[in-house]
Structures are given as C-alpha cells and as structure tokens.
Amino acid sequence: MIDSVLSVRGLTLDYRTPGGTQRAVNDVSLEVRRGEVLGVVGESGSGKSTLAYQMLGYRQPNARLAGGSVMFHGTDIASLDRTGLQELRGNRISFVPQNPTTALNPAMTVGDQIAEVLRKHKRMGSAAIETRFAGLMEQVGLGQIPGVADRYPHRLSGGQQQRIAIAMALACDPELVILDEPTTGLDVTVQQQVIELLKSLRAARGVSMVYVTHDLPLLRQIADRLAVMYRGELVEVGDAEQVFTRPHHAYAKALLAAVPQFQAAPEATTTAAPGAPLLEASDLSIAYGRRRGFLGIGRSEGARVVPGVSLAIGRDETLALIGESGSGKSTIARALCGLVPPAAGKIRYRGEALAGRLEDRAADERREIQYVFQNPDASLNPRMRVAEILARPLDVFFGEKGRAVRPKVEQALADVHLNLAYLDRFPHELSGGERQRVAIARALIAEPSLLLCDEVLSALDVSVQARVLDLLRELRARTGVSMLFISHDLGVVRSLADRVGVLYRGELVEVGPTEQIYTAPQHPYTQRLLAAAIGTHGAPVAPEPEPQAILRREARG
C-alpha cells in the first residue's frame, strides 16, 4: 500500500448557475502520495481549480457537493465544518494562490502577515516567530533582503511576493501544499526561479504538493505524477514521464500535441526580401504621462518607457518582439499604430513619414495598420453582434454598409473558420478562441498590410492557442500581410517569426533572423532569457534532443 496523504474518492461537484446545474467535477478519484508533486493539468473550465480548492475544503458559494469524499488522514474534508477546517487549513494543508498581488494584504507588512499564521496555528511567541521568520526567508531565498519583514507587499517584486506567499504556506510545516497556477503571472526568468525553489523545498522537507496549471512544459520539470482533467473528468492519471511520453487518453495526446514545441518552424522561412521595408521606426522614444501643461505650469516629461528604438518590418515579413513584461513590447506597438504618440523619433511607412498622432493620420494609413489585442473579451464590444462588429471597419474604411456588406462579412468569418451561424451571436456566446478569431477577422476585413499582434495567444488555452497560431500562419500565407508579433512565449515565436527582436528595459538589445537568435544569441540578456525558457520547456534544444523528439512522435501518434 502506498503511503498516501490525501485521497479523493468519487468526488462530484455541481455549480448552480442561472442556466441550471452544471457538473464541474465528475466522479474524480485520485491519491496524493507522501512527498510527491502531483500535477493537475487541463484547460480553463476543466474543473482543475474546483478540484484543488475542494482539497482545501473550499467550495464556491454556488457549488454543491453531489457525492464523494476527500480523505485527509482519516477525516473527510469535504464534509468538515468551519472550525474543523480552520484547524487544518494553513496548518496541515496550505495554499499558494495564483496572484500574490491580490492574495497578500496590501495594508500589512509581510512580516506581520506571516506572524499572523504562526500565532494563530502554532501559538508562538514573538521571539519564536522571529527565528521562524528568518528561517523561512532563508528557505525561500529572501534572506539577503534587509528588513524584509517590515516591507509592505508593494515594495516587493512579483517573484518576491510569490516567495512570500510560498513562505506563508510553509510556515506551519504543512504536509500538503496546494499550488494554483503559482507562476502564471510571472516572467519566464522568475518562473524558473520559483520552480527551482519548489524543487529544493520538496527535496529538503518532503512536502507533498498538488500543482495546478495549464502549462505542461513547466510541469514536466517538477511533477512526479500527472493528472489530466477534461470537462470535469479525470481522463488520465499516472507517472509524469509516462503521461508525457506515452499518454493513453486521446485528450491527453491532443493536449500534448498542442504545446508549442521549442523548435524551428518546419518550413524554411524566407528571409525578408531586401529592399525598402514596409515600416521603419528610427530612434523611437516613448514616454507615458507626458503633459504639455498650461503656460509651462504642470509640464511633465513623464516616465520614459522606451528610450530610443529603431526597427524595420519588411514586406511579407513577421517580426517578433520578445522580452519580459514591462520591457516596452506593447508600448512600441501602440506607438506604431498611433495610440501613444512618440516623444521623439520618426516612423516611416512605405517610405513616407507617418504622423505620430492617430488623429493626424489619413484614413488609409489607419486602415493599413491593424491591431489585434491580447484579450478578445475586452476588444469586442459585448453589446454588438458578430456581424455588426465585422461590418464596422467596412463602414468606416470603405463606406460600405447595409445589406451589401453581408457577403464580405460572411467571407471574413469563413476565412477564420467560423460557422456563419455565429454572425448573429454576441461575443459572450462564443468561446475565447472563437472570440479571438472574430477579432482577427475584424482586423483583416480592413485589408491591412501590417498586423500588430499584441500577445494575441496569451489569453487562450494551450490547445486553442495552437489552432489560432495555425490560423495566423494560414492567413499570412494567403494575404501576404506583414506582422509585428509580440509575445513572451518563446516557443510560439520561434515557430512563426522570420526575425526576432529582443527587448530589455525598453531597449532593443538584439535583432536578427529567428534561428540565429535562438541558436547563437549574442547579448547576455538574450542568453539568459533563452536559458530560462529552455528550462521551463523541460528539455534543452541542442544538447539533448531525444525527449522532445519522443514527445513529438508520441503526440502525433
């Protein structure tokens, strides 16, 4: 008999919604063994978080336990009352949230927040708490920061905040830690550090962990066993290597196949044709919050996000910008389309100067540069039907409206492989991937020559990402549109871009053909970024290609 810490048996949970009861978790049974890391993967809506929260004895107010049990050392957590749960939570089972910025109390110093946990559960005195705190900080790698106990959360970086949240979860020496997407909001280099930390903690203290995420390559690094959720059901559970290399269930195979591989694009990408670039920006300097003031009063230079960047996008070329959050990727795209007028520098489009301010640009210039936003939930007007959304650019740019645009709108929808029945639907009646397709269709219906794609995949699930990526490739091949593709996902970029620009703190530290950047990075920052990315993708590219090859082969099979 394997020593199990927690066992879930036949767990079934329902959500009461205005539209009736929905089954979120259906008859799930699994075990968490002592000292192991159990990865729980699945797309959003697969019930993985609902399952994880139930392991803490927590249910959403509208959730109902329809059956089954969660046994933790002989007690059924699912049916425990409030005081019983308080005894358990934070003490023997603890939790690391997805977003530490909202999970930490902004009005309390981190020292007080951790002390609170210790005082409540272990009834420690001040002196004991102090020693314990120092020990915890040492463990999570924050020991060197002077006076960290007296800091408020906003004075720590995202990665440091997550370390604090982990320290808080470990404070009482729990037997089980539930981690809900603990690195999703973090940059790839920081992500790697957190994973290293979790690995070392597992080795040093033998804590069991349940790690919920949709990021498969990441789990490959840390998980001992893997549970795959699909539509509320546990479709596969088993040894991590086995699930990764020889998945049994069709969905698990599909999920693995969808992960953007850290590999070169299969077809040989043509380098941009020499000649005049489509768009050229020179010494672009962009600042936020700049004010002209009134008679010199209230004048402010603002925060300079991009101090001076020069880049060029050729015809039929896809240029990718990569870099951490805050490196100015989106800011550059916003300047190119005229949303943020640059403080200095020139933009030339088709060889002619392009005005910095959107209002000063001609209608055709606005039409030719189209922007696709990260989150289709926000970029589609919730009160407009798909047909209206697609018809707006036609009205504005071509003066076409009424019945005449119907064939064009239908064609645009068909181009992104959506059913024509969707024309009369509202965005909220579509799934995330379908919404992003509508957003792409809206951009393309204006017949642009340059598409600015700002993290267009990051709000989507992995398998959906792959399909939207395929769509982008197909549309690019057919329309010959140039792209500025902004992403933090290095795997996606490698498979799509002709050239890559690496941004670091607003400066373009390296630009070059994709393969050159990936195989022979020159700048130290690029090297670091790639190392971190390769780390999270589980298998290095150059020295040891086997696991990837197996993964690919299995995924195809």
Partner 1 sequence: MVAQPLAEKPRRGAGLLAVWRSAPSSFRIGAILLGIHILLAVLGPFIALYPQQQMMAGRPIQGPDLLHWFGTDQLGRDVFSRTLHGGWIVMVLSISGTLLGVAVGSVIGLACGYVRGWVDEVVMRIVEAILSIPFLVLALLAVSMAGPELAGSPVLVVTAVAVIYAPRIARMARAAALDIVTRDYVTVARLRGEPTLSVVRREMLPNAMGVLLVEFAVRAGYAPILIGTLGFLGFGMRPPTPEWGLMISEYRNLLTVQPWAVFGPGLMLSTLVIGLNFFTEGLSRVLGRSPMRGAA
CB closer to partner 1, 36 vs 236? 236
Q: Of 137 and 430, which has the nearer Cβ to partner 1?
A: 430
Q: Rounded CA gap, 406 and 385, in Å?
A: 13
Binding mask 528-547 for partner 1 (x = CB under 8 A): --------------------
- Which is nearest to 286 in space by CA: 305, 273, 299, 268? 305
x-or-dash string of contact with partner 1, 279-318, rule CB under 8 A: ----------------------------------------
Q: Which is nearer to partner 1, 249 or 528 (CB)?
A: 249
Site for partner 1 in 407-446 (CB under 8 A): 425-426, 428-431, 442, 446
Strand duo 344-349 + 352-354: pairing: antiparallel
Q: Which stretch binds partner 1 (CB under 8 A): 51-59, 163-171, 187-195, 331-339?
A: 331-339
| Closest distance of CB 438 from partner 1, Å | 11
In the sheet that holds 75-76, the strands lie side by side as: 20-33, 4-17, 63-72, 75-76
Beta carbon nearer to partner 1, 31 or 236: 236
Shortest distance, position 441 Cβ to partner 1, whole Å: 13
Rule CB under 8 A: choose which of 46, 113, 208, 482 binds partner 1: 46
Q: In this structure, what token pair is assigned to residue 53?
A: 């929260």
Cα 270 to Cα 315: distance, rounded to the nearest angstrom? 12
Helix (H, G, I), strand (E, B) or coil at 31: strand
Residue 3 vs 395, nearer CB to partner 1: 395
Q: Is the Cβ of residue 305 or residue 446 nearer to partner 1 in the bound state?
A: 446
* From 9, 12, 23, 540, residue interacting with partner 1 (rule: CB under 8 A): 23
Binds partner 1 (CB under 8 A): choice among 51, 218, 309, 337 = 337
Q: Among residues 24, 137, 142, 219, which is the contact residue for partner 1, using CB under 8 A?
A: 24
Please, which of residues 343-362 interact with partner 1 by CB under 8 A? 358-359, 361
CA distances from 557 to 256, 271, 537, 548 (A): 11, 32, 21, 14
CB of 356 to partner 1, least distance (A): 14
Which one of 153, 232, 342, 491 is in contact with partner 1 (CB under 8 A)? 232
CB of 366 to partner 1, least distance (A): 5
Does residue 47 bind partner 1 (CB under 8 A)? yes
Task: Give, for 126, the enclosing helix (H) or strand (E).
Answer: helix 126-139
**CB neighbour list of residue 101: distance below 8 Å, 6 or more residues apart:** 153, 158, 161, 185
The number of residues in the chain equals: 557
Whether 54 and 13 have beta carbons less than 8 Å apart is answered as: yes
In angstroms, what is the minimal distance from the CB of 25 to partner 1? 9
CB 193 within 8 A of CB 186: no
Give, in order, the Cα–Cα distances in Å from 456 to each of 6, 128, 371, 452, 506. 39, 49, 10, 9, 21
Shortest reach from residue 430's CB to partner 1, in Å: 8
The nearer residue to partner 1, 166 or 440, going by C-beta atoms, is 440
Q: Which CB sits closer to partner 1, 231 or 350?
A: 231
Report strand pairing: 20-33 vs 4-17: antiparallel
The two tokens of residue 541 are 């590219």
Of the candidates 31, 36, 43, 180, which one interacts with partner 1 according to CB under 8 A? Answer: 43
- DSSP letter for 426, please: -
Buried b / exposed e along 277-306 (16+ C-beta atoms within 10 A): bbbbbeebbbbeebeeeeeeeeeeeeebbb
Number of H helices, E strands in the chain: 21, 20
- For residue 260, which of 94, 416, 490 has the smallest C-alpha distance? 490
Count of positions on this chain that bind partner 1 (CB under 8 A):
46
Structure tokens at 407: 């064939």
Between the CA of residue 162 and those of 35, 140, 200, 303, 307, what are the distances in Å?
Answer: 22, 10, 16, 27, 30
- 144 near partner 1, judged by CB under 8 A: no
Range 372-411, binding partner 1 (CB under 8 A): 373, 375, 378-384, 392-393, 396-397
Output phi, psi for 532, to 5 deg: -65, -45
From candidates 19, 266, 407, 543, binder to partner 1 by CB under 8 A: 19
> Is 231 near partner 1 (CB under 8 A)?
yes
When asked if residue 21 is in the footprint of partner 1 (CB under 8 A), the reply is no
Whichever of 380 and 412 has its CB closer to partner 1, that residue is: 380
What is the distance between the alpha carbons of residues 200 and 140, in angstroms, rounded to a whole number? 9
Query: Which of residues 254 and 265 has its CB atom nearest to partner 1 in the complex?
Result: 254
Window 69-128: residues binding partner 1 (CB under 8 A): none
Q: How far apart are the C-alpha atoms of 228 and 235, rounded to whole Å?
A: 6
Q: Which is nearer to partner 1, 19 or 106 (CB)?
A: 19
Contact flag: residue 463 with partner 1 (CB under 8 A): no
* DSSP 8-class letter at 89: B
Our CB check for partner 1 shows the closer of 7 and 44 to be: 44
User: In whole angstroms, how close is the CB of 339 to partner 1 at the nearest point?
Assistant: 7
List of residues contacting partner 1 (CB under 8 A):
15, 17-19, 22-24, 43-47, 50, 231-232, 337-339, 358-359, 361, 363, 366, 370-371, 373, 375, 378-384, 392-393, 396-397, 425-426, 428-431, 442, 446
